Amino acid sequence: MATQAPPASTSDMPAAPDAIVVRFAGDSGDGMQLTGGQFTLSTALAGNDLATFPDFPAEIRAPQGTLFGVSAFQINFGSRAINTAGDAPDVLVAMNPAALKVNLAALKPGGLVIVDTGEFTKRNLDKAKYDASPLDDESLAKFDVLAFDISARTIEAVEPFGLGKKDALRCKNMWTLGLALWMFDRPREPLHDWLNKKFAKAPDIAAANIAALDAGHAYGETAELSAPLKQVHLPPAPSEPGLYRTITGAEAVSLGLVAGAQLAELPMFFGGYPITPASAILHHLARLKEYGVTTFQAEDEIAAVCAAIGASYAGQLGVTSSSGPGIALKTEALGLGIMTELPLVVVNSQRGGPSTGLPTKTEQSDLYQAVYGRNGDAPMPVIAARSPGDAFEVAIEACRMAVQYMTPVMLLTDGYIANAAEPWKVPDPSSFEPFPAKFLTEPRGEVLEPYKRDAKGARPWIKPGTPHMMHRIGGIEKDANTGNISYDPANHQLMTDTRREKIANIPVPDQEVAFGETTGKLAVVGWGSTYGPIKQAVRRSIDKGCSVSHIHIRHIWPLPKNLGELLEGFDRVLVPEMNTGQLKTVLRDQLLVDAESLTKTSGQPFQIAELEEAICAYFDGVQGNEGGQVAANDQQLPSTVESE
């Protein structure tokens, strides 16, 4: 086994940029997500700021070597603050011809492409629809190319362990990871420890993977290579003192839900059904039973949400999660939660729709569904996380509103937030104010009034089985005083108004400007995962002298009370969204703001450059070219369709 080489002297290394974007790409069975995840871990341990973007096909295992079976993992890391996974890679690691073809358009001119020549066989080239090998013509002329037989070198590295060729090639991603660790001056010990733990019951497999990892590192360290391959050291990014860890949006939501239940002094019941990209929340919560968490994988979406409502009725904090199609199935039960006025947290990890849509791609197209998507007048609070780390606090806020106002709450994330990772400073638990749930244990007067409200408009929470506290509950309208079934027209009007006013009057923090001045010519208003690219685009535009500010909304319903007045301080309002303009419609509806949309519904996140171009359109003196639709591109999420 190779030993760890001493760190290279930074004085011997070329001057490094302050950030680098790397994309690993290969077949969905090549372990690109695992490779990217472990490179992310080593980057975080090195103290760099980072943002990641996993991209994988919807098929469980697409045919090997095909264009639509390519899986990729992009990471943007550096010695400065990082807000997005980057517009285009500086380095592309392509494990086969299909990965090269699908991702090459993304690579920056002059960027480095690393390819495994062992996979550039006639059969694989045909699957990738290459007429000739791109390694033999001029199609890669504008890039630095490092082409060598990674497959053969991997087989050679693991030969002492007696693995067959198929099993040996499974270590190829570790060889590639070892080379990447050398390129960016990363230690190998954390990966050694991880492999030994992962394959504790198969020590030969662990040793083979470690040998492949070390061989890849040694190749970069010792090979007499020409200019394309350089070792680059990025110093740690400035950061506040504290305990940090990498976290994905799904992990942050899970931890935030557990923290919210603890702050409410309630056990938590989670009812879920597997669906991409929400399933990870169920997986994470299932490992947190010691915190009073019960997880239930139901037979379908309806059973999952109804079980969560039943748990809330019994005195626990009911939680459910899904993505757009599953939320649609839960809709009637959400109306039941609103009618019964029970606390319930609903997490929607949005994906491309409608129907099954784009299961593994991201979108923000469930905003109408969250705000308006139930039969009858059935309002519920809607809040949105802006990043993986932010999802922790948003989950706590959802729990607080649900418990204090006796209502279901919708928490919106999306596929990008759920799967992406970033460094997260672990907060001090004492910094969060508890909001212990209160149960009514005896009538407040001579007669029990289960819908008699407090100053917040919330009805009492009564556990079933409490002596002398028997009452009716269900989806049929109830009398405003006794809780008995009521078909009285005036009572229904009163209860409808009361439920609406309870939600409308929930106090939410005043809206602040995320970046820029509080007045100006243009306000760029976003929500959810558009935060990072909007912030960077606005920053760049301000540096150019544009009068533009970034406003990012967490509380979608009800909206902050000062939002309308804040937007009146700007001449124009632009709303970038990964949908066809849903928040723009809500702003026009509620605030009479003449907002304009910038939409993108290709399953692709916004790039900084796309937003910067849209902002500049407001200052270029050309009338009528503002807003509109951003076309799909072949960079951040490439197309698998061969261009004509």
**For the segment 178-201, what is each residue's pLDDT rounded down to a tens digit?**
999 999 999 999 999 999 999 999
- Per-residue pLDDT at 634 exceeds 80: no
**What is the band of 622 on the pLDDT scale with cuts at 50, 70, 90?**
confident
Question: CB-based burial of residue 210 (10 Å sphere; 0-12 exposed, 13-18 middle, 19+ buried)?
Answer: buried
Q: Is the pLDDT of residue 554 over 50?
A: yes
Residue range 102-140, pLDDT digits in tens:
999 999 999 999 999 999 999 999 999 999 999 998 889
Query: Per-residue pLDDT tens for 199-216?
Result: 999 999 999 999 999 999
4: pLDDT strictly greater than 80: no
What local confidence, expressed as pLDDT, does residue 246 receive? 93
Q: What share of the chain is helix, strand, coil (3-state, %, to 5)?
A: 35, 20, 45
Average pLDDT over residues 326-335: 97
Give the whole-angstrom CA distance, residue 187 versus residue 331. Answer: 49
Neighbours of 242 (CB within 10 A): 9
- Which pLDDT score is estimated for 509? 97
User: Which neighbouring-strand residues pair with 629?
Assistant: 599
Place of tokens 């509080």: 518
**357 secondary structure, DSSP code:** -
Buried b (16+ CB within 10 A) or exposed e, 45-74: ebebbbbbbbbbbbeeebeebbbebbbbbb
State the pLDDT at residue 228: 63
Mean pLDDT value of segment 625-635: 77
With a CB cutoff of 8 Å and minimum separation 6, the contacts of 377 are 496, 499, 500
Tokens 């005083």 found at: 481
Average pLDDT score over the chain: 92
Confidence of residue 7 (pLDDT cuts 50, 70, 90): very low
Burial of 3 from C-beta contacts in 10 A (0-12 / 13-18 / 19+): exposed
Extended strands (E) in 190-330? 244-248, 268-272, 293-297, 317-322
- Give the model confidence (pLDDT) of 398-415 as tens digits: 999 999 999 999 999 999
Instruction: Average the pLDDT over 514-541 and give the result.
Output: 97
284 confidence band (pLDDT: 50, 70, 90): very high
Q: With H, G, I as helix, E, B as strand and everything else as coil, classify residue 553.
A: strand
Q: Is 435 exposed, middle or buried (0-12, 13-18, 19+ CB in 10 A)?
A: middle
What's the confidence (pLDDT) of residue 226?
Answer: 54
Range of 84-93, 472-481, 554-563 with top mean pLDDT: 554-563
* Radius of gyration for the alpha carbons in the chain, expressed in angstroms and rounded: 27
pLDDT at 112: 93
Question: Quick one: pLDDT at residue 16?
Answer: 67
Is pLDDT of 12 > 80? no
Rounded Cα gap, residues 505 and 136, in angstroms: 67
Predicted confidence at residue 5, as pLDDT, reads: 39
Res. 642: pLDDT tops 80? no
- In this predicted structure, the answer to whether residue 147 has a pLDDT above a threshold of 50 is yes
State the pLDDT at residue 574: 97
Average pLDDT (627-637) is 72
C-alpha distance from residue 145 to each of 92, 99, 117, 123, 185 (Å): 10, 15, 11, 22, 20
- Give how far Cα 227 sits from Cα of 196, 219, 338, 592, Å: 35, 15, 64, 59
For residue 423, which amino acid is it? P
Quote the percentage of the chain above a pLDDT of 90: 83
Q: What is the pLDDT of residues 217-262, one digit of tens each?
A: 999 888 755 556 678 889 999 989 999 999 999 999 999 999 999 9
Region 87-95 average pLDDT = 94
pLDDT of residue 640: 60
